[in-house]
Amino acid sequence: MCEKSSCQTTVVHLKIQAHTTTMVKSTSMDALTSGKKSAQLKREILRRYMVNGGESIADLSRELGLSVPTLTKIVTELIEEDLVTDLGKQGATGGRRPSIYGLNPAAGYFMGVDIKRDVIVMGIINFRGDMVVSRQYDFIIENTRQSFDELCNHITQFIASSRIRRDKLLAIGINISGRVNPESGYSYSYFFFDEKPLTTVLEERLGYRVFIENDSRAMTYGEYMYGVGNNEQNMIFLNLSWGFGIGMILGGELHYGKSGFSGEYGHFPFFDNEIICSCGKRGCLETEVSGWAAHRQFIEKLKQGNISMLSKQFESGQQITLADILDVLGKEDMLAIEVMEQIGAQLGRAIAGLINMFNPDVIVLGGTLYEAKDYLLLPIKSAINKYALNFVSKDTAVKVSKLGESAGLIGICAITRNKMLGL
Protein backbone atom coordinates (compact mmCIF):
# COMPACT_ATOMS: atom_id res chain seq x y z
CA MET A 1 0.00 0.00 0.00
CA CYS A 2 2.78 2.38 0.88
CA GLU A 3 5.51 2.64 -1.72
CA LYS A 4 8.78 2.92 0.14
CA SER A 5 10.18 5.78 -1.87
CA SER A 6 7.08 7.96 -1.52
CA CYS A 7 6.88 7.32 2.25
CA GLN A 8 10.47 8.42 2.69
CA THR A 9 9.83 11.58 0.73
CA THR A 10 6.89 12.39 3.00
CA VAL A 11 8.92 11.76 6.16
CA VAL A 12 11.66 14.12 5.03
CA HIS A 13 9.07 16.71 4.06
CA LEU A 14 7.38 16.51 7.46
CA LYS A 15 10.69 16.98 9.24
CA ILE A 16 11.31 20.15 7.30
CA GLN A 17 7.84 21.41 8.20
CA ALA A 18 8.33 20.55 11.85
CA HIS A 19 11.49 22.66 11.97
CA THR A 20 10.15 25.66 10.15
CA THR A 21 6.68 25.93 11.65
CA THR A 22 6.32 27.20 15.16
CA MET A 23 2.67 26.18 15.26
CA VAL A 24 3.39 22.43 15.50
CA LYS A 25 2.22 21.10 18.80
CA SER A 26 4.40 18.79 20.82
CA THR A 27 2.45 15.54 20.92
CA SER A 28 3.10 11.84 21.00
CA MET A 29 3.03 12.05 17.21
CA ASP A 30 6.43 13.72 17.33
CA ALA A 31 7.78 10.29 18.23
CA LEU A 32 6.92 9.26 14.69
CA THR A 33 9.62 11.48 13.28
CA SER A 34 12.39 9.93 15.37
CA GLY A 35 14.16 6.64 14.69
CA LYS A 36 13.67 6.38 10.95
CA LYS A 37 13.18 2.62 10.58
CA SER A 38 10.87 2.06 13.54
CA ALA A 39 9.02 5.31 12.70
CA GLN A 40 8.38 3.99 9.21
CA LEU A 41 7.13 0.71 10.62
CA LYS A 42 4.88 2.53 13.08
CA ARG A 43 3.38 4.52 10.23
CA GLU A 44 2.75 1.35 8.27
CA ILE A 45 0.98 -0.22 11.27
CA LEU A 46 -1.15 2.89 11.87
CA ARG A 47 -2.03 2.98 8.20
CA ARG A 48 -3.14 -0.65 8.30
CA TYR A 49 -5.29 0.02 11.37
CA MET A 50 -6.92 2.96 9.60
CA VAL A 51 -7.97 0.69 6.75
CA ASN A 52 -8.85 -2.55 8.57
CA GLY A 53 -9.97 -1.19 11.96
CA GLY A 54 -7.38 -3.20 13.89
CA GLU A 55 -5.71 -6.60 13.92
CA SER A 56 -3.71 -9.02 16.08
CA ILE A 57 0.07 -9.07 16.29
CA ALA A 58 0.06 -12.52 14.65
CA ASP A 59 -1.86 -11.09 11.66
CA LEU A 60 0.51 -8.12 11.47
CA SER A 61 3.46 -10.50 11.54
CA ARG A 62 2.02 -12.51 8.65
CA GLU A 63 1.16 -9.45 6.56
CA LEU A 64 4.37 -7.49 7.14
CA GLY A 65 6.77 -10.48 7.17
CA LEU A 66 8.28 -9.45 10.53
CA SER A 67 8.76 -11.42 13.74
CA VAL A 68 6.20 -11.42 16.53
CA PRO A 69 8.75 -10.10 19.14
CA THR A 70 9.65 -7.15 16.87
CA LEU A 71 6.02 -6.25 16.33
CA THR A 72 5.14 -6.74 20.01
CA LYS A 73 7.86 -4.19 20.86
CA ILE A 74 6.62 -1.68 18.26
CA VAL A 75 2.93 -2.04 19.17
CA THR A 76 3.82 -1.70 22.88
CA GLU A 77 5.61 1.58 22.08
CA LEU A 78 2.56 2.80 20.13
CA ILE A 79 0.37 1.97 23.16
CA GLU A 80 2.76 3.87 25.45
CA GLU A 81 2.57 6.83 23.05
CA ASP A 82 -1.26 6.66 23.40
CA LEU A 83 -1.74 6.18 19.67
CA VAL A 84 -2.87 2.55 19.83
CA THR A 85 -5.14 0.70 22.21
CA ASP A 86 -6.09 -2.89 23.03
CA LEU A 87 -9.52 -3.53 21.50
CA GLY A 88 -10.02 -6.86 23.30
CA LYS A 89 -9.99 -10.51 22.28
CA GLN A 90 -11.19 -11.70 18.90
CA GLY A 91 -12.81 -14.85 17.55
CA ALA A 92 -15.28 -17.44 18.72
CA THR A 93 -15.02 -19.70 21.74
CA GLY A 94 -12.25 -22.24 22.22
CA GLY A 95 -8.49 -21.96 21.97
CA ARG A 96 -6.37 -18.96 22.88
CA ARG A 97 -7.89 -15.84 21.44
CA PRO A 98 -5.40 -13.14 20.47
CA SER A 99 -5.82 -9.48 21.39
CA ILE A 100 -6.75 -7.07 18.63
CA TYR A 101 -5.00 -3.72 18.57
CA GLY A 102 -6.29 -0.63 16.82
CA LEU A 103 -6.19 3.17 16.86
CA ASN A 104 -6.89 4.97 20.14
CA PRO A 105 -9.79 7.29 19.20
CA ALA A 106 -8.85 9.87 21.87
CA ALA A 107 -5.20 10.22 20.71
CA GLY A 108 -6.02 13.39 18.84
CA TYR A 109 -8.62 15.20 16.77
CA PHE A 110 -8.48 16.68 13.27
CA MET A 111 -10.78 19.30 11.83
CA GLY A 112 -11.97 19.63 8.25
CA VAL A 113 -13.52 22.65 6.54
CA ASP A 114 -15.32 22.11 3.24
CA ILE A 115 -16.11 25.35 1.43
CA LYS A 116 -18.87 24.74 -1.07
CA ARG A 117 -20.65 27.11 -3.45
CA ASP A 118 -23.08 28.61 -0.95
CA VAL A 119 -22.41 26.85 2.35
CA ILE A 120 -19.48 25.89 4.51
CA VAL A 121 -19.40 22.55 6.32
CA MET A 122 -17.08 21.88 9.26
CA GLY A 123 -16.40 18.68 11.14
CA ILE A 124 -13.97 17.05 13.53
CA ILE A 125 -12.85 13.42 13.44
CA ASN A 126 -11.17 11.49 16.23
CA PHE A 127 -7.94 9.60 15.67
CA ARG A 128 -9.85 6.50 14.48
CA GLY A 129 -11.65 8.54 11.82
CA ASP A 130 -15.13 8.76 13.38
CA MET A 131 -16.85 12.11 12.80
CA VAL A 132 -17.57 13.38 16.32
CA VAL A 133 -19.15 16.74 15.49
CA SER A 134 -20.15 18.59 12.31
CA ARG A 135 -22.07 21.72 11.43
CA GLN A 136 -23.09 23.73 8.37
CA TYR A 137 -23.12 27.51 7.98
CA ASP A 138 -24.33 29.80 5.20
CA PHE A 139 -21.25 31.18 3.52
CA ILE A 140 -20.46 32.44 0.05
CA ILE A 141 -16.75 32.58 -0.62
CA GLU A 142 -15.48 35.79 -2.18
CA ASN A 143 -11.95 36.89 -2.77
CA THR A 144 -12.13 39.68 -0.16
CA ARG A 145 -10.65 40.27 3.29
CA GLN A 146 -14.17 40.47 4.69
CA SER A 147 -14.96 36.98 3.40
CA PHE A 148 -11.64 35.74 4.83
CA ASP A 149 -12.50 37.22 8.25
CA GLU A 150 -15.92 35.60 8.12
CA LEU A 151 -14.32 32.21 7.38
CA CYS A 152 -11.91 32.58 10.33
CA ASN A 153 -14.76 33.60 12.67
CA HIS A 154 -16.81 30.56 11.66
CA ILE A 155 -13.82 28.28 12.32
CA THR A 156 -13.12 29.82 15.74
CA GLN A 157 -16.78 29.62 16.78
CA PHE A 158 -17.08 26.03 15.61
CA ILE A 159 -14.00 24.94 17.58
CA ALA A 160 -15.30 26.67 20.70
CA SER A 161 -18.70 24.98 20.38
CA SER A 162 -17.14 21.54 19.73
CA ARG A 163 -15.79 21.31 23.29
CA ILE A 164 -12.70 19.47 22.03
CA ARG A 165 -9.74 20.33 24.26
CA ARG A 166 -7.45 22.85 22.56
CA ASP A 167 -4.32 20.72 22.94
CA LYS A 168 -6.14 17.70 21.50
CA LEU A 169 -7.11 19.41 18.22
CA LEU A 170 -3.94 18.80 16.23
CA ALA A 171 -4.61 20.37 12.84
CA ILE A 172 -7.16 21.93 10.50
CA GLY A 173 -7.55 21.10 6.81
CA ILE A 174 -9.48 23.39 4.44
CA ASN A 175 -10.87 22.56 0.99
CA ILE A 176 -10.74 25.51 -1.36
CA SER A 177 -11.85 25.33 -4.97
CA GLY A 178 -9.81 26.90 -7.71
CA ARG A 179 -6.04 26.88 -7.91
CA VAL A 180 -4.53 25.52 -4.70
CA ASN A 181 -1.01 24.26 -4.09
CA PRO A 182 -1.20 22.04 -0.98
CA GLU A 183 2.58 21.62 -0.89
CA SER A 184 3.48 25.31 -0.75
CA GLY A 185 0.27 26.34 1.06
CA TYR A 186 -0.65 28.98 -1.52
CA SER A 187 -4.20 29.50 -2.79
CA TYR A 188 -4.27 31.56 -5.99
CA SER A 189 -8.01 31.84 -6.74
CA TYR A 190 -9.12 32.91 -3.24
CA PHE A 191 -7.50 34.85 -0.37
CA PHE A 192 -4.25 35.59 -2.19
CA PHE A 193 -3.58 38.90 -0.38
CA ASP A 194 -0.16 38.35 1.15
CA GLU A 195 3.33 37.37 0.13
CA LYS A 196 3.00 34.61 2.70
CA PRO A 197 1.30 31.28 1.94
CA LEU A 198 -2.36 31.19 2.96
CA THR A 199 -1.61 28.33 5.37
CA THR A 200 0.89 30.52 7.28
CA VAL A 201 -1.59 33.41 7.44
CA LEU A 202 -4.26 31.04 8.80
CA GLU A 203 -1.87 29.44 11.32
CA GLU A 204 -0.97 32.85 12.72
CA ARG A 205 -4.62 33.83 12.91
CA LEU A 206 -6.08 30.59 14.30
CA GLY A 207 -3.17 29.19 16.35
CA TYR A 208 -3.41 25.73 14.84
CA ARG A 209 -1.46 23.86 12.20
CA VAL A 210 -3.33 24.36 8.88
CA PHE A 211 -3.32 22.54 5.54
CA ILE A 212 -5.21 23.47 2.38
CA GLU A 213 -6.41 21.09 -0.29
CA ASN A 214 -8.19 21.06 -3.62
CA ASP A 215 -11.86 20.13 -3.12
CA SER A 216 -12.04 17.42 -5.81
CA ARG A 217 -8.95 15.73 -4.38
CA ALA A 218 -10.37 15.74 -0.85
CA MET A 219 -13.63 14.20 -2.12
CA THR A 220 -11.60 11.56 -3.92
CA TYR A 221 -9.75 10.61 -0.76
CA GLY A 222 -12.96 10.47 1.30
CA GLU A 223 -14.59 8.13 -1.21
CA TYR A 224 -11.43 6.03 -1.45
CA MET A 225 -11.13 5.50 2.30
CA TYR A 226 -14.76 5.44 3.43
CA GLY A 227 -17.01 5.25 0.34
CA VAL A 228 -17.35 3.05 -2.73
CA GLY A 229 -13.62 3.35 -3.48
CA ASN A 230 -13.11 0.33 -1.25
CA ASN A 231 -9.38 1.00 -1.18
CA GLU A 232 -9.01 0.14 -4.87
CA GLN A 233 -5.48 1.04 -5.94
CA ASN A 234 -6.48 2.95 -9.07
CA MET A 235 -9.56 5.11 -8.84
CA ILE A 236 -10.81 8.18 -10.67
CA PHE A 237 -13.37 10.36 -8.91
CA LEU A 238 -15.53 12.74 -10.93
CA ASN A 239 -16.51 15.86 -9.01
CA LEU A 240 -19.49 16.85 -11.11
CA SER A 241 -20.74 19.91 -9.24
CA TRP A 242 -21.28 23.46 -10.58
CA GLY A 243 -17.90 22.97 -12.29
CA PHE A 244 -16.17 19.70 -13.17
CA GLY A 245 -12.88 18.41 -11.76
CA ILE A 246 -11.45 14.98 -11.14
CA GLY A 247 -9.28 13.38 -8.47
CA MET A 248 -7.04 10.38 -8.98
CA ILE A 249 -5.76 7.59 -6.77
CA LEU A 250 -2.91 5.97 -8.68
CA GLY A 251 -1.11 2.98 -7.15
CA GLY A 252 -2.91 3.60 -3.83
CA GLU A 253 -1.73 7.21 -3.55
CA LEU A 254 -3.47 10.51 -4.25
CA HIS A 255 -2.00 12.00 -7.39
CA TYR A 256 -0.98 15.68 -7.06
CA GLY A 257 1.23 16.44 -10.05
CA LYS A 258 4.19 18.81 -9.97
CA SER A 259 2.42 21.79 -8.36
CA GLY A 260 -0.74 20.22 -6.95
CA PHE A 261 -2.86 21.29 -9.91
CA SER A 262 -3.63 17.87 -11.41
CA GLY A 263 -7.26 16.94 -12.09
CA GLU A 264 -8.37 19.95 -14.17
CA TYR A 265 -10.06 17.61 -16.64
CA GLY A 266 -13.06 19.95 -16.88
CA HIS A 267 -10.82 22.27 -18.88
CA PHE A 268 -9.83 19.62 -21.42
CA PRO A 269 -10.48 21.19 -24.87
CA PHE A 270 -13.21 18.74 -25.82
CA PHE A 271 -15.77 20.65 -27.88
CA ASP A 272 -15.67 22.84 -30.93
CA ASN A 273 -18.29 25.20 -29.50
CA GLU A 274 -18.52 28.94 -28.88
CA ILE A 275 -19.19 28.75 -25.15
CA ILE A 276 -16.79 30.65 -22.92
CA CYS A 277 -15.74 28.54 -19.94
CA SER A 278 -15.20 29.73 -16.35
CA CYS A 279 -11.45 29.59 -17.11
CA GLY A 280 -11.85 32.07 -19.96
CA LYS A 281 -11.16 29.58 -22.77
CA ARG A 282 -13.65 28.16 -25.27
CA GLY A 283 -14.91 24.62 -25.75
CA CYS A 284 -13.74 23.09 -22.44
CA LEU A 285 -15.37 19.81 -21.37
CA GLU A 286 -17.01 21.74 -18.51
CA THR A 287 -18.99 23.88 -20.97
CA GLU A 288 -21.22 20.87 -21.78
CA VAL A 289 -20.54 18.53 -18.84
CA SER A 290 -21.07 20.17 -15.43
CA GLY A 291 -23.74 21.56 -13.13
CA TRP A 292 -23.64 24.94 -14.83
CA ALA A 293 -23.93 23.26 -18.24
CA ALA A 294 -27.00 21.32 -17.01
CA HIS A 295 -28.50 24.53 -15.66
CA ARG A 296 -27.82 26.47 -18.89
CA GLN A 297 -29.16 23.70 -21.13
CA PHE A 298 -32.31 23.34 -19.03
CA ILE A 299 -33.06 27.08 -19.17
CA GLU A 300 -32.39 27.14 -22.94
CA LYS A 301 -34.88 24.34 -23.45
CA LEU A 302 -37.51 26.16 -21.37
CA LYS A 303 -36.94 29.26 -23.49
CA GLN A 304 -37.51 27.15 -26.61
CA GLY A 305 -40.95 26.25 -25.22
CA ASN A 306 -40.26 22.79 -23.78
CA ILE A 307 -42.54 21.85 -20.93
CA SER A 308 -41.34 20.96 -17.43
CA MET A 309 -42.58 20.84 -13.83
CA LEU A 310 -40.63 24.09 -13.50
CA SER A 311 -42.39 25.84 -16.43
CA LYS A 312 -44.72 27.85 -14.16
CA GLN A 313 -41.83 28.97 -11.94
CA PHE A 314 -39.90 29.97 -15.07
CA GLU A 315 -42.79 31.87 -16.64
CA SER A 316 -43.45 33.79 -13.42
CA GLY A 317 -39.89 35.12 -13.59
CA GLN A 318 -38.63 33.31 -10.50
CA GLN A 319 -35.06 32.06 -10.48
CA ILE A 320 -34.48 28.39 -11.23
CA THR A 321 -31.50 26.83 -9.45
CA LEU A 322 -29.55 23.65 -10.10
CA ALA A 323 -31.08 22.29 -6.88
CA ASP A 324 -34.57 22.92 -8.36
CA ILE A 325 -33.63 20.95 -11.47
CA LEU A 326 -32.25 18.04 -9.41
CA ASP A 327 -35.39 18.14 -7.31
CA VAL A 328 -37.73 17.72 -10.28
CA LEU A 329 -35.37 15.12 -11.77
CA GLY A 330 -36.08 13.07 -8.65
CA LYS A 331 -39.78 13.44 -9.52
CA GLU A 332 -39.15 12.14 -13.06
CA ASP A 333 -39.45 15.47 -14.86
CA MET A 334 -38.90 14.55 -18.50
CA LEU A 335 -37.06 17.72 -19.47
CA ALA A 336 -34.63 17.28 -16.57
CA ILE A 337 -34.15 13.62 -17.60
CA GLU A 338 -33.43 14.66 -21.20
CA VAL A 339 -30.79 17.16 -20.08
CA MET A 340 -29.08 14.64 -17.81
CA GLU A 341 -29.09 11.97 -20.54
CA GLN A 342 -27.43 14.41 -22.91
CA ILE A 343 -24.78 15.25 -20.31
CA GLY A 344 -24.31 11.56 -19.45
CA ALA A 345 -23.63 10.70 -23.10
CA GLN A 346 -20.95 13.40 -23.41
CA LEU A 347 -19.51 12.53 -20.01
CA GLY A 348 -19.35 8.85 -21.01
CA ARG A 349 -17.23 9.76 -24.05
CA ALA A 350 -14.91 11.76 -21.81
CA ILE A 351 -14.70 8.87 -19.30
CA ALA A 352 -13.89 6.43 -22.14
CA GLY A 353 -10.77 8.51 -22.75
CA LEU A 354 -9.84 8.36 -19.06
CA ILE A 355 -10.32 4.58 -19.01
CA ASN A 356 -8.12 4.10 -22.08
CA MET A 357 -5.47 6.31 -20.52
CA PHE A 358 -5.42 5.06 -16.89
CA ASN A 359 -6.99 1.57 -16.89
CA PRO A 360 -8.54 2.27 -13.45
CA ASP A 361 -10.22 -0.27 -11.13
CA VAL A 362 -13.13 2.08 -10.58
CA ILE A 363 -14.62 5.37 -11.78
CA VAL A 364 -16.79 7.11 -9.17
CA LEU A 365 -19.51 9.56 -10.12
CA GLY A 366 -19.62 12.21 -7.37
CA GLY A 367 -20.28 15.88 -6.70
CA THR A 368 -23.71 17.54 -6.66
CA LEU A 369 -24.85 15.71 -9.81
CA TYR A 370 -24.31 12.32 -8.15
CA GLU A 371 -28.00 12.71 -7.25
CA ALA A 372 -28.88 12.08 -10.90
CA LYS A 373 -27.63 8.48 -10.41
CA ASP A 374 -29.06 6.15 -13.13
CA TYR A 375 -30.10 9.05 -15.34
CA LEU A 376 -26.40 9.74 -15.83
CA LEU A 377 -25.06 6.23 -15.24
CA LEU A 378 -26.93 4.49 -18.07
CA PRO A 379 -25.85 6.87 -20.88
CA ILE A 380 -22.33 6.88 -19.38
CA LYS A 381 -22.13 3.08 -19.60
CA SER A 382 -23.53 3.08 -23.11
CA ALA A 383 -20.93 5.66 -24.23
CA ILE A 384 -18.13 3.68 -22.56
CA ASN A 385 -19.21 0.58 -24.51
CA LYS A 386 -19.10 2.63 -27.67
CA TYR A 387 -15.89 4.61 -27.22
CA ALA A 388 -13.55 2.80 -24.78
CA LEU A 389 -11.32 -0.09 -25.80
CA ASN A 390 -13.17 -3.15 -24.58
CA PHE A 391 -10.07 -4.99 -23.30
CA VAL A 392 -9.34 -1.98 -21.07
CA SER A 393 -12.87 -1.04 -19.95
CA LYS A 394 -14.01 -4.59 -19.06
CA ASP A 395 -11.98 -4.35 -15.82
CA THR A 396 -13.32 -0.92 -14.81
CA ALA A 397 -16.39 -0.58 -12.62
CA VAL A 398 -18.44 2.64 -12.74
CA LYS A 399 -20.10 3.48 -9.42
CA VAL A 400 -22.11 6.30 -7.89
CA SER A 401 -20.62 8.00 -4.81
CA LYS A 402 -21.69 6.60 -1.45
CA LEU A 403 -20.72 9.65 0.59
CA GLY A 404 -22.42 12.20 -1.68
CA GLU A 405 -22.15 15.75 -0.35
CA SER A 406 -20.14 14.54 2.70
CA ALA A 407 -17.21 13.22 0.64
CA GLY A 408 -15.29 16.51 0.78
CA LEU A 409 -15.57 16.94 4.55
CA ILE A 410 -14.70 13.32 5.35
CA GLY A 411 -11.85 13.44 2.86
CA ILE A 412 -10.25 16.63 4.16
CA CYS A 413 -10.42 15.37 7.76
CA ALA A 414 -8.68 12.11 6.74
CA ILE A 415 -6.05 13.94 4.64
CA THR A 416 -5.30 16.25 7.58
CA ARG A 417 -4.81 13.27 9.89
CA ASN A 418 -2.49 11.62 7.34
CA LYS A 419 -0.41 14.77 6.94
CA MET A 420 0.13 15.06 10.68
CA LEU A 421 1.22 11.42 10.75
CA GLY A 422 3.45 11.78 7.69
CA LEU A 423 1.41 9.20 5.73
The verdict on 302 binding Zn ion (CB under 5 A) reads no
Minimum distance from residue 411 beta carbon to Zn ion (Å): 24
Name the residue nearer to Zn ion (CB basis): 68 or 276.
276
Q: Is position 284 an interface residue for Zn ion (rule: CB under 5 A)? A: yes
Task: State which residue, 240 or 277, has the beta carbon closest to Zn ion.
Answer: 277
Task: Give the binding range for Zn ion (CB under 5 A) out of 164-172, 279-287, 361-369, 395-403.
Answer: 279-287
Cα 200 from chain centroid? 22
Minimum distance from residue 125 beta carbon to Zn ion (Å):
34
Nearer to Zn ion, 293 or 412 (CB): 293
Specify the amino acid at residue 333: D
Q: Is 277 in the site for Zn ion (CB under 5 A)?
A: yes
Which among 192-200, 231-239, 284-292, 354-362 is the span making contact with Zn ion, rule CB under 5 A? 284-292
Q: Is 209 in the site for Zn ion (CB under 5 A)?
A: no
Of the candidate spans 166-174, 262-270, 330-338, 413-421, the one that interacts with Zn ion by CB under 5 A turns out to be 262-270
* Residue 353 C-beta: closest distance to Zn ion, Å: 16
Taking the complex as a whole, the smallest distance from the CB of residue 147 to Zn ion amounts, in Å, to 24
**Interface with Zn ion, residue 279, by CB under 5 A:** yes
Residue 46 or 238 having the CB closest to Zn ion = 238
When the beta carbons of 235 and 285 are compared against Zn ion, the nearer one is: 285
Distance separating the N- and C-terminal Cα atoms of the chain: 11
Q: How far is the CB of 297 from Zn ion (least distance, A)?
A: 17
Q: Kindly state whether residue 276 participates in binding Zn ion, applying the rule CB under 5 A.
A: no
The residues of the shown chain that bind Zn ion, judged by CB under 5 A, are 267, 277, 279, 281, 284
